[in-house]
Amino acid sequence: MIGCWVVGPDGRTTVIGRYVARVATTPAATSSPAAADAKDLSRGLIGAGIAVCAWSTGTILAKYIDMGSLAIGFYRFAFFGLAIVVWMRLRGTPFRLRIIRDSMWGGLSLGADIALFFSAVKLTSIVNATIIGSMQPIVVGVIAARFFGERIGLRNVAWSLVALTGTVVVVAAGADGDASDIRGDLLALGAMLTWSGYFIASKNSKKTMTSTEFTAGTALWTMAICAPLGFVFGQDMSWPSATNWGWLILMAVGSGLIGHAMMNWSLVRIPLWVGSTFTLLIPVFSALLAWVVLGEAVTVVQGVAMAVVIGALAVVVRNQSQPAPAYVEPAPAGAD
């Protein structure tokens, strides 16, 4: 009760008071920053897992498409890049020319990766090219620690190396004796470095654009790179048949809309090195899909190695108990 003394006209004093209701305080409805960070990290890890599963379908679907690699790359990236642009327009966030500029390094890296890997497998074995590509987590891990301040830890390094070893065994155990060439190996090394550059650019893109804008921009860059290189390498770049279009659309939706979009969305929410390490699952899932869908043989050694890769990466994921601050998507790029 709050009151005061008041002197009336007759000289007497009275107390005037009023009651103030006590209001109980309750915790804020919103979750704490730590809980929000943990939720954001969990969502990012799930997204990265979905992305590598989607990427794994690419090699299987490519077997059904009667087209050259660069022609597949051109039509695939053209379809899903333009699909994202249309989707952005429908959502009221039109694609701006600024996105082309800001996504340039990521687009050049992704386009170069496709071109270099295509050239590499012409000269060296697919096994060599795949194993060299599997070294990406090492490069990205160094960059993540040096320039992004990510703390990897010896335990995570050890389990990542176990997963890397398992991936090498999966690929090598399925070798078919193809000849290798040092020039092809060097091209595969270049493809691995540019693939690493794509991941780094994706992580860094959160400073200037949303993950959707980055995915759309890099897709259009890759489309623009694959087209002239397809003609240079003498591939048939003509309009695909109806059958090929069906498989191309499936590939664009799987490897493109789901794979690239989900990984780019995840990389701004999880440590860069974790997203890169997830890619070690691609050869494993591709081999499993080839066994289920195409009837390709999987040896006992490969099976054990696959289990090792999956188990080691499960430990890495479980160790992610210290999330980075929750990521907030920046506003869409403004008008030019």
Q: Which tokens belong to 17?
A: 């008071």
Is residue 252 pLDDT above 60, yes or no? yes
pLDDT in tens, 174-225: 766 666 678 889 999 999 999 999 999 999 999 999 999 999 999 999 999 9
Judge whether 275 and 48 are in contact, CB under 8 Å.
yes
Q: Round the average pLDDT of the chain to a whole number and report it.
A: 86
Residue 330: the pLDDT is 63
Beta bridge pairs of residue 13? 7
Half-sphere exposure of 150 (CA within 13 A, CB side): 25
Q: Which of 149, 155, 141 has its CA nearest to residue 279?
A: 141
Query: Pick the residue with more confidence: 174 or 263?
Result: 263
User: Cα separation of 287 and 57, whole Å?
Assistant: 10
Query: In degrees rounded to 5, what are phi and psi of residue 47?
Result: -60, -40
Is residue 118 pLDDT above 90, yes or no? no
Is residue 13 pLDDT above 80, yes or no? no
Query: Pick the residue with more confidence: 184 or 32?
Result: 184
Query: In degrees rounded to 5, what are phi and psi of residue 11?
Result: 90, -5
Judge whether 143 and 268 are in contact, CB under 8 Å.
no
User: Cα separation of 112 and 120, whole Å?
Assistant: 12
User: Cα separation of 57 and 259, whole Å?
Assistant: 10
DSSP 117-160: HHHHHHHS-HHHHHHHHTTHHHHHHHHHHHHS-----HHHHHHH
pLDDT in tens, 51-98: 999 999 988 898 899 999 899 999 999 999 999 999 999 999 999 999
Give residues with Cβ within 8 angstroms of 215, minimum separation 6.
84, 260, 261, 264
Q: Which of 101, 49, 89, 63 has its CA nearest to residue 208?
A: 101
Query: Is residue 149 left, alpha or beta, with left meaning phi > 0 and alpha meaning psi from -120 to 50?
Result: left
Query: Pick the residue with more confidence: 8 or 266?
Result: 266
Judge whether 282 and 89 are in contact, CB under 8 Å.
no
pLDDT in tens, 90-116: 999 999 999 999 999 999 999 999 989
Task: Say what the alpha-carbon torsion angle 84, 248, 251, 76 is, to the nearest 10 degrees.
Answer: -50
